[in-house]
Amino acid sequence: MDHWTLSSEEVLKQLASNKNGLTETEAKQRLEKYGKNELKREKGISALKVLARQFTSLLIVLLIAAAAVSYFIGESLDAIVILAIVIFNGIIGFIQEFRAEKALEALKKMTALKAVVIRGGRKTEIDVELIVPGDILVLEEGNKIAADSRIISEENLGVDESSLTGESVPVSKVKENLPQNTQVADRKNSLFAGTAVVRGRGLAVVVNTGFSTELGKIAKEIQVESPPTPLQQYLDILGKKIIAAVLVAVGIIFAINFFFEGRGLVETFLTSVSLAVAAVPEGLPAIVTLTAAIGVKIMASKRTLVRRLSAVEALGSTTVIATDKTGTLTENKMSVQKVYAGKLSDIKSCREEMLFRIGLLCNNAELDSGDPTEKALVASADSFGIDINKERSKYKRLKEIPFESEKKRMTVICECNKRRFSFVKGAPETVLSLSDKIEANGRIRRLTEADRRELQKTVDGMASDALRVLGFAYKPYDGGDAEKGLIFVGLQGMMDPPRGEVRNAVKTCEEAGIRVVMITGDHELTAKAVAKKIGIENPKSITGSELERLNEKKFEEVVKTTDIFARVDPSHKLKIVKKLRELGEIVAVTGDGVNDAPALKNANIGVAMGIRGTDVAKEASDMVITDDNFATIVTAVEEGRRIFDNIKKFVNYLLTCNMGEVLLIFIASLLFLPLPLTAIMILWLNLLTDGFPALALGTDPAGPGIMKSRNNRTKIIDRRMGAEIIQTGLLIALLSLFVFMQSLNEGVEKAQTMAFTAIVFLEFVRLGRVENNYGMHIWSNKYLVLALLFSIFLQLLVIYGPISPYFGTVPLALGDWITIFTVLVAMFMLDYGLTRFTKHVLNNNLK
């Protein structure tokens, strides 16, 4: 039933109800038919499921398989080390993510626990879950709406719908029926669950409850899994590629050793497993997790709380920020911006005290409570310098003619020093039509047609700046009609102003190659005015109703180029976000209302506001900005980029090291040489020697110009990095093999020790080159220096300490170290030359 298109009498008839409400018997029958008015989650997420989720990535599965194989072939130490890494990684992820998604429970909290209904002709207070279609709701100021309803009667009824529609100004409700195609935000004869009455009173008949309400539809939409982050996607792809490479390499090695060399099955299998162990970057999942966890701690100090660990790096990859307007870009507080009393000015420059006196006295709000528009007028009087309490005590109110949507004005009669005055505020055209005089510069004169034209021109100009304009007039009152023959005083124009820091934040996003798109339930004109004030020049805009008339191809074109989507409902917002993702964008959605929840949930990363944000928005999000400041989002983006760059650094470093180890074993096998590295040596390299420096890379500070680059950071391993990994890995393998072969005449253990030690220090040289690629150096990060020193100490301990027998190493002499040092110098020079070759000769073809 499209209840907004029908008269209230027709709605009552279709629901088999009347103004006396349902009987208790009818209500009970309908409760059985429609169910309770609640949003019940079908099944919660258990701790076991959250824990299990930490062990589902391909890399983790591959590590578990490697541990199992190692155990069954007798390499129990290897198996224990690998499993320790996997378990450690899983525990960290579990701790960070074990906050069950309580979006639907939060939605339930949005509805008041009790509501007053009319049943059997009597007012009755009942639990909101017992409300059924056909019930008559009794509405008063301060009530939360318990279910979607159609208005039967109203007296100056105003409802705050910002949490549902995004509109910052309370909606004045009416009884009249509306056209079929009226959007949710424009259904002024309807009330919606989760919104709140801010003024007036009325009666409404319930038309939908539970999941059938607009709030319930949102609840259903957010019951989806959040999309994987770019890092999750790339690690999954990387895992598949590693598996493919391992299978091919192991097959070749097995065939060479078993069929051509005639080695035993067990020995051949051990060789193949060693290669597989070398290929798998055991430390990568743990280091990614720990780096993200460190980033979470840093971001918390910058007023950003991260709810989903794997989403940390996604913010740094963001290409589009789809932001709500109300409360995110703006202050979510109506404020008088311009006044007119003879001339257009700000509050401080105005000299017409009567303009602010009328706004204060013809008003039922306080500075911190009441209708937002009226609060703005109280605040403007306070800013002008009027003592609010003193003025209201001085002018005693005798009578009020309340605001009505048809009349578009409010009038009060006050007495001061035995003189009575009529004070009127309302729509400018209404107040002007009731005025025949004007007060300006302390003089009262006749209001001419030229004055009216000038005032209308001023009103139009203020409205074009998205200001909500009210007119103010008064007259000495001696009886009769209080609303005729008025003296026009002036205008006050108000809006929900942009936050002061937003303009610079938007500029920073533009420099960083991040597109800012506004998606709001507010009016198009208001949204465009805010966009201009925050630095979005010549914004392209479209409304929700216009979107619905577009075919799929045209919709895609609009999404690519539009800056503002106005008067949209939750389904529009969700559709826009999904389309942006389909187009390959990494989408961050910001918001604070119930209406934002589906988009927050379906974005690559949802960012909720901490102060004004509803519980629904917070629980549907990946991050919460605790100060509700858009500028903080940009700071978080910078931190995300730092984390993302650091992840790229250690992925580059780790995979280069692993490539070197794999190629060393692979080439040695092709040359029918003994294994240069044992399985335990490879694990030591990947976990400790590589792991500590790689982890320290995660604490690197942001590189120069990190927010000036338009690189979208959507790829971890691009073609250039891939080429670097292969060529440098091959260089490490060949130099290590050279050292190994040079020492073979002194025994396999000596040769393995030399190759083992050489590859450790060759990888450290590569670490310096990776830092240099990002405009950094090793000394930029004290933790990296400490990690290198610690890793060197561990390596010396393995060679010279009491644990050397477990690794099969022997002590090295001075001459051995000179050989290793010579190889390091060669590595530095060759690596530098190859990097220059890639950058300049290939001239960016490998980007």
Q: Return the active site residues.
A: 324
- Distance, CA of 387 to CA of 385 (rounded, Å): 6
Q: Which amino acid is at 584?
A: G
Tell me how crowded residue 474 is: count the other CB atoms within 10 A of its CB. Answer: 25
d(Cα 105, Cα 121) in Å, to the nearest integer? 33
Q: Which of 457, 472, 462 is nearest to 377 (CA)?
A: 472
- H/E stretch holding 831 reads helix 814-836
Q: Where are the beta strands (DSSP E) in 34-121?
A: 114-119
Distances, alpha carbon 485 to alpha carbons 137, 327, 360, 447, 837, in Å:
41, 41, 21, 11, 87
* Residue in 424, 437, 264, 258 with CA at minimum distance from that of residue 355: 424
Three-state secondary-structure class, residue 261: coil
* Per-residue CA distances from 144 to 3, 185, 386 (Å): 21, 17, 34
Contact status, residue 363 vs residue 357, Cβ threshold 8 Å: no
CA distance 668 to 675: 7
**825 to each of 742, 774, 775, how far by Cα in Å?**
17, 22, 21
> Residue 161 contacts by C-beta under 8 Å, 6 or more apart in sequence?
167, 170, 171, 185, 192, 195
The length of the chain in residues reads 847
Cα 616 to Cα 111: distance, rounded to the nearest angstrom: 12
Q: Check the CA dihedral 619-625-629-632 and report its sign.
A: negative
Contact 685, 658 (CB under 8 A): no
DSSP 330: B
Quick one: which H or E segment has residue 396?
strand 396-404
Q: Which two tokens stand for residue 844?
A: 């960016």
d(CA 258, CA 252): 10
Rounded Cα distance, 96 and 299, in Å: 14
- How far apart CA 134 and CA 24 sit, in angstroms, is 12
